[in-house]
A and B are shown apart, each in its own frame.
Chain A
Amino acid sequence: MNKIGLIIWREYLTRVRKKSFIIMTFLGPVLFAALIVLPGWLAQMEDSDVKEIAVVEYNSNNQPVPASLQFFRNVIPNKENIKFTYLNNARLPDVLKAFEATQYDGVLFLPQTLISAGRETSVEFYYRKPPSLGMELHISKSIEKFLFSNKLMSKNIPTDIVQSLETKVNLNRINWKNWPNKQEDTTDVKRGLGYVGGFLIYIFIFMFGAQVMRGVLEEKTSRIVEVIISSVSPFQLMMGKIIGIGLIGLTQFVAWLILTFGISTFAQQVFLPKPATAITQQVAPSDIMSTNSANEQLASPSAGKEQAAVMLDGIMKQLGQINIVLVIGAFLFYFLGGFFLYGSLFAAIGAAVDNETDTQQFMLPITIPLILGLFVMINSFINPSGKLAVWFSLIPLTSPIVMMARIPFEVPVLQILASAVLLILTFLGTTWLAAKIYRTGILMYGKKVTYRELWKWIKY
């Protein structure tokens, strides 16, 4: 084994056996999954306790109405976690006076004068705890819908016609290049994929770049560097370290990929019903929510799982339409390219200073383009082929992050090639630059290094 191989092997082996690496490898996918699932899960948790809302109805003379004469009875359908109770002949002041002792979470007051309301009106809702946005929307939409059809029926338009008036329209985005194949567009999945890819590169560059820096610093402060560079050249030592740590990053990525697929397949099989059956069930109920079918919609406990299964199945289908090989290939290329570019700079910083606190002043110029890349990446989801996204996916300091986010949306081959060539050239340049700083820096002790000093080393 030649010397640089030995160095790579040592850097790789000492890190891959570390407990922190092993823990991260297994915890990573779980953390990622948690990051994606947790917000939704938390929101669901919050709403999971069933809210009970009392509905009080008054007639046009401002008097309570008995159940048999109630206009709005069952107008607002129950939901999984909201239940509506229509009170018989109840007076609002009485209900509110006794509110403290009741089980109700809110009282909705509906006067029958609503029927003849104009373009805009409002109803009163008394709450114990402020209602969620979802609940607000559900109540107002249901009442609007009822008023709409009621107004039409009052003009003697038959019920079946009123019901047929409503049509829900989704926009089906199709890339013109796929015509005449009307393949469904996969923007959301692409966006997700780009986001995960770009973000991973950002994290990896920071995480493993810092490892390079700390590794160099460790060799310098432990003084072993002098022994090593009496056997190998400083450049070999630096490159060996960068490559070794880069391989660690790749190992982690591949392990995460395998684990994520493993976990998601397992989760799909165990926790979710078969997608095929879920779909047929989904097709059956009509999309139009009739005013009378409120109770039909009372959610069964398995509904959520079915929905999740359908969503997952959809994602899988859409993933099938994306060039996964290209995405993974691009990830590997941009990760390695970006890592070599920044890794050599991190190595130069580690060599230039004596301890970790001194690294701060040199970290800023490295951090800024990386964070800029992240911002442009998020921005580029709005318009993946806009000027901003295109330029920043060509500039080598940001291209690993921004181009990664664009890759799932078809990027012109010329742009990919240009960005790849620029990245390679730049990383050769920074490596050359870093090697000069590194060579001088690793043997320099007890000197607080300034930018001017670094410039001298580069010229030297």
Chain B
Amino acid sequence: MYLFTASNIVKRYSDHLALDRVTINVPEGSIYGLLGPNGAGKTTLLRIINQISAPDEGEMFFSGREFTPKDVASIGYLPEERGLYKKMKVGEQALYLARLKGMSKSEAMNKLKYWFTKFEIQAWWDKKVEELSKGMQQKVQFVTTILHQPKLLIFDEPFSGFDPINANLLKNEILELRKKGSTIIFSTHDMGSVEELCDNITLINKSRTILEGAVHDIKMEHKSNMFEIGFKGDPAVVIEKLNGQCQVVDQYERRTNHYVKIMADKKLSGNDMLNLVLPEASITSFNEIIPTMNEIFIKVVEAQNQQLTPEL
């Protein structure tokens, strides 16, 4: 069941095509990563989902029905460029933003009390925003984004500008929100957080979708039967033994252990490899090397870029 789907979204600006038939399907209760290099069209897509701008073509559905302007009340949006009214007091401002999202005053007040206590920021209530540090402002803005318990949360680069402690706090909060049933779309360059958080992703490059699906599936698709064996013993002997059956692509030493990286074809199982090494050395580790999202990202984007500019 998809909470939000957008199909074949096209957005043209006077001088360029920002989105070219982009499709995303966001399963309910999932964390959905929107990836892509700078200028790929991520923010344009997020703005369309937030109904800040309208697509020129394409259809959007929310909870199975057509996406209407009223649905923005069910969305929480944290833009990449954060900002609050600098001269306004924190509490007043949070209350104002909550009410713009359609919450009643008393409801907003109760929720704010809960979150301000949880984040230990009650003391800021009567401070002006300009008196807070940038990280503090981001915390306040995060609270205002999730306060109305939207079904769909959209975070544009949520971790940028946070120190590791606060970034971790945010990460846990995002996971908690999913546990409570929220669906989350976030765009990021930080592939580490993608691996940690995302269930599904879409990779946009040059206005087009070039990769879409569950993170696990994508990784499986892009793995290339690489293994790493760690051992104590003579590396030359081990390599000689292995080279007959598969291809050793790398060899290195870390502390007292030696490692070899192997490219194997599918016929050779892990057990077979271990059997080859076992008589020659004592094995300390054995891993299948699955590509990181970072590697996949770079690989696919570069491939498409080359494809698009063959004449250069």
Residues of A with C-beta under 8 A to B14 = 456, 460
Q: Do B50 and A224 touch across chains, with their CB atoms under 8 A apart?
A: no
- With A14-B87, A456-B14 as given contacts, are A230 and B82 in contact (CB-CB < 8 Å)? no
8 Å CB interface, A226-265 against B: 226-233
Residues of A with C-beta under 8 A to B101 = 231
30 A-B pairs in the complex with CB atoms less than 8 angstroms apart: A6-B99, A6-B100, A10-B96, A14-B87, A218-B85, A222-B83, A222-B84, A222-B86, A223-B81, A223-B83, A226-B77, A226-B79, A226-B83, A227-B77, A227-B144, A228-B97, A228-B100, A230-B50, A230-B52, A230-B72, A230-B75, A230-B77, A230-B79, A231-B72, A231-B101, A233-B69, A443-B47, A443-B52, A443-B53, A460-B14
Q: Closest residue to B100 on the A side, CB-wise? A: A231
Inter-chain CA distance A297–B47, complex, in Å, is 82
| Total contacts A-B at CB 8 Å | 60
Interface membership of A1, Cβ < 8 A = yes
Inter-chain CA distance A321–B293, complex, in Å, is 84
Residues of A with C-beta under 8 A to B97 = 227-228, 231
Q: Do B85 and A224 touch across chains, with their CB atoms under 8 A apart?
A: yes
Q: Which 6 A-B pairs have the closest CB atoms?
A: A223-B83, A231-B100, A223-B81, A230-B50, A222-B83, A224-B83
Q: Do A223 and B99 touch across chains, with their CB atoms under 8 A apart?
A: no
* Contact with B83, one of A3, A227, A456 (Cβ below 8 angstroms): A227
Residues of A with C-beta under 8 A to B77 = 226-227, 230
Q: Do A3 and B79 touch across chains, with their CB atoms under 8 A apart?
A: no
- Chain A 197-229, CB-CB to B under 8 Å as 1, else 0, gives 000000000000000000000110011111111
Residues of B with C-beta under 8 A to A232 = 100
Residues of A with C-beta under 8 A to B53 = 443
Q: Closest residue to B104 on the A side, CB-wise? A: A1
A245 to chain B, nearest CB (A): 15
- Chain B 90-109, CB-CB to A under 8 Å as 1, else 0, gives 00000011011100000000
Interface membership of B8, Cβ < 8 A = no
Q: Do B100 and A226 touch across chains, with their CB atoms under 8 A apart?
A: no
- Chain A 419-460, CB-CB to B under 8 Å as 1, else 0, gives 000000000000000000000000100000000000010001
Q: Do B52 and A226 touch across chains, with their CB atoms under 8 A apart?
A: yes
Q: Closest residue to A456 on the B side, CB-wise? A: B14
Residues of B with C-beta under 8 A to A456 = 14
Q: Closest residue to B13 on the A side, CB-wise? A: A460
8 Å CB interface, B32-81 against A: 47, 50-53, 69, 72-73, 75, 77, 79, 81
- Chain B 136-156, CB-CB to A under 8 Å as 1, else 0, gives 000001001100000000000
- Tell me whether chain A's interface is mostly helix, strand or loop, or mixed: helix
- With A10-B96, A223-B79 as given contacts, are A229 and B85 in contact (CB-CB < 8 Å)? no
Inter-chain CA distance A218–B87, complex, in Å, is 10
Residues of B with C-beta under 8 A to A218 = 85-86
Residues of B with C-beta under 8 A to A3 = 100
Inter-chain CA distance A214–B97, complex, in Å, is 20
B96 to chain A, nearest CB (A): 6
Residues of B with C-beta under 8 A to A443 = 47, 52-53
- With A227-B77, A456-B14 as given contacts, are A222 and B72 in contact (CB-CB < 8 Å)? no
- With A14-B87, A222-B86 as given contacts, are A229 and B99 in contact (CB-CB < 8 Å)? no
B76 to chain A, nearest CB (A): 9
Which of A10, A224, A225 gathers the greatest number of chain B CB atoms within 10 Å? A224
Residues of A with C-beta under 8 A to B87 = 14
Interface membership of B237, Cβ < 8 A = no
Inter-chain CA distance A1–B105, complex, in Å, is 10
A394 to chain B, nearest CB (A): 38
8 Å CB interface, A1-42 against B: 1, 3, 6-7, 10, 14
Q: Closest residue to A10 on the B side, CB-wise? A: B96
Which of B14, B52, B73, B77 gathers the greatest number of chain A CB atoms within 10 Å? B52
A443 to chain B, nearest CB (A): 7
Interface membership of B88, Cβ < 8 A = yes
Inter-chain CA distance A219–B93, complex, in Å, is 13
Q: Do B79 and A227 touch across chains, with their CB atoms under 8 A apart?
A: yes
Inter-chain CA distance A1–B102, complex, in Å, is 9
Inter-chain CA distance A443–B77, complex, in Å, is 15
8 Å CB interface, A147-167 against B: none
Inter-chain CA distance A230–B152, complex, in Å, is 13
Residues of A with C-beta under 8 A to B100 = 3, 6-7, 228, 231-232
Which of A3, A6, A230, A232 gathers the greatest number of chain B CB atoms within 10 Å? A230
Q: Closest residue to B82 on the A side, CB-wise? A: A223
Which of A7, A231, A233, A460 gathers the greatest number of chain B CB atoms within 10 Å? A231
Q: Closest residue to B98 on the A side, CB-wise? A: A231
For the complex with contacts A227-B141, A456-B14, 5 further pairs of A-B residues with Cβ separation under 8 Å are: A222-B84, A226-B81, A230-B79, A231-B100, A231-B101
Residues of A with C-beta under 8 A to B83 = 222-227
Inter-chain CA distance A456–B87, complex, in Å, is 34
A67 to chain B, nearest CB (A): 78
Residues of A with C-beta under 8 A to B50 = 230
Residues of A with C-beta under 8 A to B79 = 223, 226-227, 230
Residues of A with C-beta under 8 A to B47 = 226, 443
Inter-chain CA distance A420–B53, complex, in Å, is 36
Inter-chain CA distance A443–B51, complex, in Å, is 13
Residues of B with C-beta under 8 A to A229 = 52
Inter-chain CA distance A223–B96, complex, in Å, is 16
Q: Closest residue to B105 on the A side, CB-wise? A: A1
B17 to chain A, nearest CB (A): 15
Inter-chain CA distance A14–B95, complex, in Å, is 14
B198 to chain A, nearest CB (A): 22
- With A226-B52, A443-B52 as given contacts, are A1 and B81 in contact (CB-CB < 8 Å)? no
Residues of B with C-beta under 8 A to A6 = 96, 99-100
Inter-chain CA distance A7–B97, complex, in Å, is 10
Q: Closest residue to B99 on the A side, CB-wise? A: A6
Q: Closest residue to A14 on the B side, CB-wise? A: B88
Inter-chain CA distance A6–B100, complex, in Å, is 7
Residues of A with C-beta under 8 A to B141 = 227
A298 to chain B, nearest CB (A): 61
Residues of A with C-beta under 8 A to B99 = 1, 6
Inter-chain CA distance A225–B85, complex, in Å, is 10
A439 to chain B, nearest CB (A): 9
Inter-chain CA distance A222–B101, complex, in Å, is 20
Inter-chain CA distance A185–B79, complex, in Å, is 65
Inter-chain CA distance A460–B88, complex, in Å, is 35
Q: Closest residue to A233 on the B side, CB-wise? A: B69
Residues of B with C-beta under 8 A to A10 = 96
Residues of B with C-beta under 8 A to A228 = 97, 100
Q: Closest residue to B101 on the A side, CB-wise? A: A231
Inter-chain CA distance A292–B291, complex, in Å, is 118
Q: Do B85 and A222 touch across chains, with their CB atoms under 8 A apart?
A: yes
Inter-chain CA distance A232–B52, complex, in Å, is 9
Inter-chain CA distance A3–B47, complex, in Å, is 20
Q: Closest residue to B89 on the A side, CB-wise? A: A14
Which of B69, B82, B83 gathers the greatest number of chain A CB atoms within 10 Å? B83
Q: Closest residue to A459 on the B side, CB-wise? A: B14
